[in-house]
């Protein structure tokens, strides 16, 4: 008869098992898995919070832009009505045309009696010149002398509070918007002025001039006639009549306007329905002279035969515009690649794919008074 021997237990192993049962300890692997799960959940929470914050900033930016847009539409409508009255008053009409002529001559150092000066005395251009001059005078977009005159009323009204050493040009259009819509004292200037919260007003460069800012605390940009967003390349007398010229680089226009309207609409200016500027351009026979006149009109006003309505723009979450700044490019003789920022040129060479792609990438999250309505 076989007798079974009692099972032998290793004393050290038994003590480990007992200790583990008593303490309930985790293995290294179990701890790593638990930590990984916790980190994953934290990352999800962080991403969610970040997205929610971004959406909140975008929403506040849309609200700010809409307020600015509505107020500017009222101002521009009043300018058009005033221009119509001036057009019927011969003396007032002559005074305003002379003022526009003189202002351009001083800003760009040319004689009012030159061929360029005839732009301001041509019957075909007189009406549009009056309207556009009044628009610039009422709502400038930068501190350039052609915009605000030899004495800047915005910095002058700030007095000793203005710190020119701190001033950054990219804030100028936002400071102008604040000055026009809120008033240099921080109070509404009339019953139609919008009310802005403290989060919508900031002095981002520390120059003593308050600006209207977006949800990310960045200054808004204002482009009065953003025609180069539709025609990024320099127009010539050969293509200015061609509506398909606008469709060569439509991506930047879509960033601003959303779904583009038909090309026929985009190939005309609501400010110049009779194409008076183009008539003046083609009233000389030499193609070279015609192109020079076309260039001068862009320098003094905007690209002819191109849709032009003001744009209020936020650079969005990446804080990069993808467009030239509103203060850039004032010159009577810009080069083919001149940065006509005042006409909202893309910040690239559109004929170089990599350059164009980079600017488009920067502009994709921009918010404007047009694309927020789509």
Q: What is the residue-averaged pLDDT of the chain?
A: 82
202: which DSSP letter?
Answer: E
Residue-wise pLDDT for 306-317, tens only, equals: 888 899 999 999
Give yes or no for a contact between 68 and 127, defined as CB atoms under 8 angstroms apart. no
Comparing 102-106, 212-216, 234-238, the range with the smallest average pLDDT is: 102-106
Could you tell me the pLDDT band of residue 185, with boundaries at 50, 70 and 90?
very low
Task: Identify the CA nearest to 103 among candidates 284, 281, 301, 283.
Answer: 301
d(CA 197, CA 70): 16
pLDDT computed for residue 186 by the predictor: 43
Whether the per-residue pLDDT at 176 is higher than 50: the answer is: yes
Q: Which residues sit opposite 219 in a β-bridge?
A: 213
pLDDT computed for residue 125 by the predictor: 82
- In this prediction, residues 93-101 reach a mean pLDDT of 81
Q: Name the phi and psi angles at 63, rounded to 5.
A: -65, -40
Could you tell me the pLDDT band of residue 335, with boundaries at 50, 70 and 90?
low
pLDDT computed for residue 374 by the predictor: 67
Taking residue 295's Cβ as centre, other Cβ atoms within 10 Å add up to 19
Give yes or no for a contact between 104 and 150, defined as CB atoms under 8 angstroms apart. no
Sheet holding 367-368, edge to edge: 221-223, 311-314, 367-368
Residue linked to tokens 């800003």: 107
Whether the per-residue pLDDT at 44 is higher than 80: the answer is: no
Whether the per-residue pLDDT at 192 is higher than 80: the answer is: no
Could you tell me the pLDDT band of residue 189, with boundaries at 50, 70 and 90?
very low
Taking residue 154's Cβ as centre, other Cβ atoms within 10 Å add up to 18
Task: Identify the CA nearest to 169 among candidates 330, 60, 309, 303.
Answer: 330
Residue-wise pLDDT for 18-27, tens only, equals: 455 555 566 8
- In this prediction, residues 110-131 reach a mean pLDDT of 70
d(CA 344, CA 142): 13
Whether the per-residue pLDDT at 187 is higher than 50: the answer is: no
Residue linked to tokens 């320098």: 299
| Helix spans in the chain (H) | 11-23, 28-87, 90-108, 123-138, 145-148, 153-158, 172-181, 251-257, 263-266, 276-281, 287-300, 353-363
Whether the per-residue pLDDT at 62 is higher than 50: the answer is: yes
d(CA 136, CA 322): 24
Residues 6+ apart with CB under 8 A from 206: 163, 166
Comparing 103-117, 133-147, 329-343, the range with the smallest average pLDDT is: 103-117
Residue-wise pLDDT for 260-308, tens only, equals: 665 557 788 888 888 888 888 888 888 888 888 888 888 888 988 888 8
Could you tell me the pLDDT band of residue 257, with boundaries at 50, 70 and 90?
confident
Whether the per-residue pLDDT at 114 is higher than 60: the answer is: no
Give yes or no for a contact between 237 and 355, defined as CB atoms under 8 angstroms apart. no
Whether the per-residue pLDDT at 13 is higher than 70: the answer is: no
Whether the per-residue pLDDT at 154 is higher than 60: the answer is: yes
* Helix H or strand E segment including 196: none
pLDDT computed for residue 188 by the predictor: 46
Give yes or no for a contact between 369 and 311, defined as CB atoms under 8 angstroms apart. yes
pLDDT computed for residue 337 by the predictor: 59
Could you tell me the pLDDT band of residue 103, with boundaries at 50, 70 and 90?
confident
- In this prediction, residues 37-51 reach a mean pLDDT of 72
Tokens describing residue 306: 């191109």
pLDDT computed for residue 357 by the predictor: 95
Contacts 24+ apart (CB under 8 A), 284-291: 287/237, 290/237, 291/236, 291/237
Residues 6+ apart with CB under 8 A from 309: 226, 270
Whether the per-residue pLDDT at 245 is higher than 80: the answer is: no
pLDDT computed for residue 111 by the predictor: 57
**Residue scoring higher pLDDT (18 or 259):** 259
SS3 61: helix
Q: How many residues does the chain have?
A: 374
As a whole number of Å, the CA-based R_g of the chain is: 31
d(CA 324, CA 104): 22
Comparing 48-52, 195-199, 221-225, the range with the smallest average pLDDT is: 48-52
Whether the per-residue pLDDT at 174 is higher than 80: the answer is: yes
Could you tell me the pLDDT band of residue 52, with boundaries at 50, 70 and 90?
low
Q: What percent of the chain has pLDDT over 70?
A: 80
Task: Identify the CA nearest to 51 among candidates 313, 362, 366, 317.
Answer: 317
Residue-wise pLDDT for 141-152, tens only, equals: 999 988 888 889
d(CA 151, CA 184): 16
């Amino acid at each position: 008869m076989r007798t079974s021997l009692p099972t032998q237990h290793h004393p050290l192993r038994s003590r480990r098992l007992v200790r583990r049962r008593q303490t309930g300890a985790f293995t290294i692997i179990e701890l790593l898995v638990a930590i990984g799960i916790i980190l994953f959940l934290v990352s999800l929470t962080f991403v969610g919070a970040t997205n929610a914050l971004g959406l909140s900033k975008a929403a506040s930016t849309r609200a700010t832009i809409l307020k600015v847009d509505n107020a500017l539409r009222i101002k521009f409508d009043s300018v058009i009505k005033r221009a119509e009255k001036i057009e019927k008053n011969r003396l007032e009409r002559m005074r305003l045309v002379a003022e526009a002529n003189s202002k351009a001559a001083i800003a760009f150092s040319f004689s009012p009696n030159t061929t360029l000066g005839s732009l301001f005395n041509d019957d075909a251009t007189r009406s549009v010149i009056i309207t556009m001059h009044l628009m610039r005078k009422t709502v400038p977009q930068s501190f350039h002398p052609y915009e605000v005159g030899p004495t800047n009323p915005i910095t002058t009204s700030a007095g000793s509070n203005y710190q020119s050493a701190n001033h950054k040009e990219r804030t100028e259009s936002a400071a102008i918007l604040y000055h026009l819509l809120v008033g240099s004292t921080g109070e509404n200037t009339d019953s139609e002025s919008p009310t802005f919260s403290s989060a919508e007003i900031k002095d981002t460069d520390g120059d003593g001039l308050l600006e209207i800012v977006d949800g990310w605390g960045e200054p808004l940009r204002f482009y009065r006639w953003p025609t180069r967003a539709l025609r990024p390349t320099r127009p010539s007398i050969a293509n200015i009549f061609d509506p398909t010229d606008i469709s060569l680089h439509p991506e930047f226009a879509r960033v601003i306007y959303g779904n583009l309207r038909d090309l026929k609409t985009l190939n005309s200016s609501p400010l110049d329905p009779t194409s008076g500027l183009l008539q003046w351009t083609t009233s000389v026979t030499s193609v070279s002279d015609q192109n020079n006149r076309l260039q001068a009109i862009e320098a003094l006003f905007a690209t002819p035969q191109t849709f032009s309505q003001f744009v209020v723009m936020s650079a969005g979450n990446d804080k990069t515009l993808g467009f030239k700044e509103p203060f850039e490019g004032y010159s009577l003789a810009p080069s083919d690649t001149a940065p006509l920022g005042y006409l909202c040129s893309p910040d690239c060479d559109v004929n170089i794919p990599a350059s164009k792609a980079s600017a488009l990438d920067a502009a994709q999250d921009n918010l404007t008074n047009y694309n927020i309505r789509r």
